[in-house]
């Protein structure tokens, strides 16, 4: 499943299932769950594995109060499951198991950055109080181990997406994750702080932005740049490019 350019809350009714991967990265040891709501950030992808009952269908229903919510999805045949409030909110921070892979809060990081996500007047969405392209890039060397903490100091959800890399989610609100979760887009709700880490193994000039695209277009966009990589292109309408 994926969302569109806005975050979706998807209720799953009528059968047990596993979340086997997020953003294309497998989750080790996924457990069987039922009647859960999945918060799927804009740009995220979830892979679900169902046990379809013989006499009842599975229903996936977006509960976002948004005219652009996803259409209902029916799987299997038989009676409709009872709709209503899903019993729990899927918590990826305590789902699956851990296979130590050398990347943890105890790792020695070459680059450590903090990003404060917020907003200011005129509906501008900011990172560290600035909007693109006034936000300084995060500069890395190939091979660096990079840790970024991000706090949503405003309202709403910011699904923060990094191009060119997948990152490991290390902690939420200071509490280390008990499983190995890799993503390329992490939804951060108001008041939440996450720490993520990645290996700088793909030299380039990469966008890091909120995947709620009207937030991205309103400032919440920055770059992760490798030293020594340049581009002839410039940012802004003077270049002749009109941003969408």
Q: Which residues bind Cu ion (CB under 5 A)?
A: 158, 210, 212, 215
Cβ proximity to Cu ion, 87 vs 114, nearer residue: 114
Q: Give the shortest CB-216-to-Cu ion separation in angstroms.
A: 7
Q: What phi, psi does 192 have (nearest 5°)?
A: -85, 150
Cβ 38 vs Cβ 5: under 8 Å: no
Taking the least distance from each CB to Cu ion, the nearer of 181 and 220 is 220
In the complex, least distance from residue 175 CB atom to Cu ion, rounded to whole angstroms = 23
210 - beta bridge partners? 160
Q: Among residues 140 and 150, whose Cβ is nearest to Cu ion?
A: 150
Minimum CB distance to Cu ion smaller for 140 or for 210? 210
Helix residue ranges per DSSP H, the chain: 213-217
Do β-strands 124-127 and 58-62 pair in parallel, antiparallel, or remain unpaired?
unpaired
Q: How far apart are CA 66 and CA 124, in angstroms?
A: 21
Name the minimum Å distance from CB 25 to Cu ion.
22
Q: Which is nearer to Cu ion, 30 or 219 (CB)?
A: 219
Residue matched to tokens 């080790």: 28
**Cβ 162 to Cu ion, closest distance in Å?**
14
CB of 100 to Cu ion, least distance (A): 33
Pairwise CA distance, residues 26 & 166, whole Å:
12
Tokens representing 204 are 């380039």
């Amino acid at each position: 499943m994926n969302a569109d350019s806005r975050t979706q809350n998807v209720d799953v009714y009528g059968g047990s299932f596993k979340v086997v991967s997020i953003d294309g990265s497998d989750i080790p040891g996924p457990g069987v769950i039922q009647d859960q709501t999945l918060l799927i950030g804009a740009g995220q992808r979830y892979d679900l594995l169902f046990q379809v009952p013989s006499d009842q269908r599975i229903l996936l229903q977006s509960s976002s109060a948004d005219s652009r919510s996803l259409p209902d999805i029916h799987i299997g045949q038989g009676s409709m499951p009872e709709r209503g409030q899903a019993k729990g909110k899927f918590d990826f921070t305590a789902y699956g198991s851990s296979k130590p892979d050398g990347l943890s809060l105890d790792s020695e990081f070459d680059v450590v950055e903090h990003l404060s996500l917020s907003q200011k007047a005129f509906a501008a969405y900011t990172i560290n109080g600035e909007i693109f392209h006034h936000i300084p890039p995060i500069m890395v060397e190939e091979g660096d181990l990079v840790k970024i903490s991000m706090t949503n100091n405003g309202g709403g959800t910011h699904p923060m997406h990094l191009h060119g890399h997948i990152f490991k989610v290390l902690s939420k609100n200071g509490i280390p994750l008990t499983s190995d979760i890799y993503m390329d887009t992490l939804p951060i709700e108001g008041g939440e702080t996450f720490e993520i880490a990645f290996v700088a193994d793909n030299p380039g000039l990469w966008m890091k932005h909120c995947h709620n695209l009207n937030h991205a277009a309103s400032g919440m966009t920055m770059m992760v740049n490798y030293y020594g990589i340049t581009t002839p292109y410039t940012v802004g309408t003077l270049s002749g490019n009109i941003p969408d």
